[in-house]
Amino acid sequence: MIKPPRVLTIAGSAAGGSAGIQADLKTFQELDVYGMSVITAIVAKHPETKKNIHSQSIEAIEAQYATAKEQVGVDVIKTGMLFSKKVIDKVAEIINGSQVKHIVIDPVMVGKLDSKLLEDDAIDALKKKLLPLATIITPNMPETSVLLDGRALTCVEDLKQAAKDLYNLGPKYVLVKGGRLEGPAVDVLYDGVTYTTFEVERLHTVNTSGAGCTYAAAITAELAKGNSIQDAVKIAKSFVTTAIAYGFSYTEMVGPTYHAATRIHGVSHEVKVN
Ligand code: PXL
């Protein structure tokens, strides 16, 4: 009987299905791990009040974690949108007591549709309490800038220096994603000694909603299956690039990546590792 590795995402619910918990669970399913979730907040805009973040109570967060742990058990944890300092404190406490094999932290701050997904006064707690617990953190360029006090990033060398400075906050590995650079899409991995770059051709599409969540979720799944960090990042980047290549939109709005693309189309994009 196959019992896949058990993976828990602690993140926000993106009602449109492209990002957050929904992207994570779709990715986990595609990559053959058993997915579970703790929902920290629901992102969904009310048509009249315009309220778009519906945060969950600490009690609800504790209850979801207790349920996942008791009913199933947890091998690897991923975090996404945490929203507040209060939630970050609780998630740090959960992680500290969890004894899981890996922690993947995607320091989500702003969504594609400009929702603010992390409060300003939570950034310090993220840096001091959560990042030091991570096996790997996966900031994009805007998140990297915020974590490094507004630093400008314009080239791969800047990403390397940023990865080194983020490494000093305590995670075992830092993956700075260069999606907003010109030219090929290059990400930089740093382990305290060596830099590894992961490069794919740049795809020209607007339908990338949830790409960051999907990438980090794929890394989480591959680590849970026992892959090395380098292999997990390589497989995950190929997976998310193929998902972006087959992204689409049902409406006028920015659409999702296609989580099933690798399976449905039987292709996976080549990633150059250096
Ligand atoms: O893509 C970042 C993201 C993460 N988590 C949630 C989101 C979004 C973007 O909208 O809604 C819950």
Q: Whose CA is nearest to atom 10 of ligand 1?
A: 111
**pLDDT value of position 127:** 97
Q: Does ligand 1 come within 6 angstroms of the Cβ of 163?
A: no
**pLDDT value of position 259:** 97
Q: Are 146 and 122 in contact (CB under 8 A)?
A: no
Q: Whose CA is nearest to atom 8 of ligand 1?
A: 111
**pLDDT value of position 114:** 64
pLDDT in tens, 44-73: 999 999 999 999 999 999 999 999 999 999
The token duo for 234 is 């390589």
Q: Whose CA is nearest to atom 11 of ligand 1?
A: 14
pLDDT in tens, 112-135: 666 789 999 999 999 999 999 999
Determine the distance separating the centroid of ligand 1 and the alpha carbon of 244, expressed in angstroms.
16
The token duo for 67 is 């349920």
**pLDDT value of position 115:** 74
Average pLDDT along the chain: 96
**pLDDT value of position 110:** 82
Say how far apart CA 33 and CA 110 lie, in whole Å: 27
Determine the distance separating the centroid of ligand 1 and the alpha carbon of 116, expressed in angstroms.
9
Closest CA to 90 of 98, 223, 70, 21: 98
What residues of the chain score a pLDDT lower than 50?
Answer: none
**pLDDT value of position 111:** 74
Q: Are 229 and 196 in contact (CB under 8 A)?
A: no
Looking at CATH, the fold of the domain delimited by 6-273 is given as UDP-N-acetylmuramoyl-L-alanine:D-glutamate ligase (3.40.1190)
Q: Does ligand 1 come within 6 angstroms of the Cβ of 210?
A: yes
Determine the distance separating the centroid of ligand 1 and the alpha carbon of 113, expressed in angstroms.
9
Domain residues of the chain, as ranges?
6-273
**pLDDT value of position 113:** 63
**pLDDT value of position 170:** 98
